[in-house]
Amino acid sequence: MPGSKMQHISSLASLCSSGQLPAPTLFGGNILSVSSQLVSNYSSYVPEAYNYNHPAVSVENVDFCNVTVTYTHPGHDDQIHVEAWLPLEWNDRLQAVGGGGMVAGRFALSYIFMAGAIGQGYATVSTDAGVSTDPSGYGTWAYLSPGNVDLHAMQNFASVALNDEAIIAKSVIESFYGRPPKYSYWSGCSQGGRQGLMLAQRYPTAYNGIVASAPAINIPSFTPSLYWPQLVMNLLGKYPRNCEISTIADAAIAACDENDGVVDGLIADPDACDFDPFSMVGKIFNCSDTGAVMQISEAAATVANATWTGPISPDGKQLWYGMEKGTLIAGTDGVASGIASTECSSNGTCTGQTSNSGAGWLLSTVLKDASFDLTNLTLVQYSWLMHISAVEWKSLWSTDEPDLTAYRNAGGKILSYHGLADPNIPPKATRHYHEAVSSVIPEVNDFFRVFEVPGLQHCSGGNGGQPTTIFDQMRAWVENGTVPETLPISFTDIPLAIASRSVLAKQEAISRLMGSSPCDKS
């Protein structure tokens, strides 16, 4: 290594260790502290299954400065942490990473993304938005007291802290390296995808390029829609075993698999799949849950059909999109991994899924009453709650503003993918949003492109392979004008069963796989 380069790296290491990095300036914010810690010879392996938007990365002996900026918005009694990892050998670019579930960042997934980023030479950053980094902690941070929402915490989470993060990260980078980043990028999936679109819509100069995959665009609409199959079962008074629902779902794949000319266990075009679940009623099958021979019931067909159709109001109005055929809509016995899952006791009695995320949103955010009994909810009441959820929370949570003129004019680029077998967020919403943008900006594909991936589950998993080059394609689009016409798919031999489970279960598995963060959190 040339002497001048070694000296530069040595001076960066000394600056990090000295704790003398200046505090950034943030309008509307008060910097409480800036801490820095030199991390030497950090090594890790980041598999593509958990490195959404990126390939697998072998991180080998990277030296980086961990900088944590703690700040508050005076008058709001909040405390937010922005954590940046600054490699001593830098590629002149910033890669901000998104969160997941109802976590803004600085949790297990974020640290995996950040490890992959520094392994490729990026300065990288994550924010906790001042709220819990526990995936199950939403019910605690979102409320000041029972029934009383902490609107400022929600605003930080939804948008404000995201722009703060970009400003702070760029300032810290310039202070550390002596120059600002040449390009600044965002990479996220699910909640991270929503965050990316929020940045494009409200803060168009924050990032030159954004990858917003499987974005949680319309949280107030799609989240309560996830309760729909459970409501249907409650109204029927019947709770089919998971094996019944799964058998119907598998039959749909078998019926429509070869529509694209290739038999590969995937439905490439769910819209063209005209499989009728009621054609399965009365058919005999072997239940994987119990090992017993069973007969498909009409109730099971009704529930599967409702899951694919999506919620319908009493007057027949479509309230939101359903899941696509080919999606995991019910798990195996004891693993309620689909929104149409049931839970059965040893005596054969089955009930609805108690951990349904749609139920959680209805109770915590719409009704604001965790003790409310949803099992007695009527169709009229459910339709009203869907309406209220959208009306009350749209401006705060939703990222469906179609006018991206400012971001387009700033030269920004957006890439997104959405798996057609996503069991958590209906992919039609992403398609609908892209179409909405095109109605405002007909040349939408000049700066914003969406790819649909058959067989891909939520961010990763499933049988359809993983889009591991989308971030690099976005960067090439921004820096070289190389337009991404196709989205290559990579297949991995790493088990991806976790991808169909909850964010909490996924984080637990990731923590076991990767270990803890290399840095202590503030």
Alpha helices in 191-326 (DSSP H): 191-202, 219-225, 228-236, 242-256, 298-309
Do 352 and 371 form a contact (C-beta atoms < 8 A)?
Answer: no
Distance CA 357, CA 489 (A): 29
Distance CA 422, CA 424 (A): 6
* Sign of the torsion angle spanned by Cα atoms 434, 440, 442, 443: negative
Q: What's the count of helices (H) and strands (E) in the chain, helices before strands?
A: 16, 15
Do 458 and 418 form a contact (C-beta atoms < 8 A)?
Answer: no
Q: What is the DSSP letter of 367?
A: I
Distance CA 65, CA 86 (A): 5
Catalytic residues: 190, 422, 458
CA triple 387-391-394, angle to 5 deg: 120
Distance CA 98, CA 131 (A): 14
**Residue 281, exposed/middle/buried by CB under 10 A (0-12, 13-18, 19+)?**
middle
Q: What is the DSSP letter of 411?
A: T
Distance CA 323, CA 410 (A): 35
Distance CA 72, CA 84 (A): 17
SS3 labels along 122-187: CEEEEECCCCCCCCCCHHHHCEEECCEECHHHHHHHHHHHHHHHHHHHHHHHHHHHCCCCCEEEEE
SS3 labels along 273-305: CCCCHHHHCCCEEECCCCCCEEECCHHHHHHHH
R_g over Cα of the chain: 23
The two three-digit tokens of residue 28, written as one number: 């509307």
Residue whose entry in the numeric block shows the structure tokens 């995808």: 193
